[in-house]
Structure 1
Amino acid sequence: MSELEGKRVFVTGSGAGIGKAIAKLFIERGARVVVSDIDADAAKRAADEIGAAGVAN
């Protein structure tokens, strides 16, 4: 069992940079993550990228 399995996380500013890296790390550790950003297109691209990398929960 992962250390964050069953947890829910909302990461603001996760469309790029540190926020995106944090979202990816939470997902890798077993959490379910909401990717959000003031730039909706960036958030969508980040979510697609994280999912395409096989990390999506």
Structure 2
Amino acid sequence: MSERFNERVVLITGAGSGLGQAAALQVAAEGAKLSLVDVNQESLDETKAKV
């Protein structure tokens, strides 16, 4: 996997589901440090666990 986001911080809104969650998982796999935001705490916690 690419390290293009290595040591970068990425803010993702809507990270609890859908495209936001997919983006969070992808950029995390590419080395990003994440700041995740969602209105639904439960789904946000699920994304956090997957990351």
Answer whether TM exceeds 0.5 for this pair. yes
Q: Tell me how large the CA RMSD over aligned residues is.
A: 1.4
1:23 deviates by 0.4
Q: Distance in 2 between matches of 1:36 and 1:30?
A: 19
1:37 deviates by 0.4
1:24 maps to: 25
TM-score (norm 2): 0.84
Query: What is the correspondence of 1:10-21 to structure 2 with a 5 Å cutoff?
Result: 10-21=11-22
The percentage of counterpart residues that share the same residue type is: 22
Question: How many residues are treated as equivalent by the alignment?
Answer: 50
1:8 maps to: 9
1:40 maps to: 41
Greater RCO, CA 8 A, separation 6+: 2
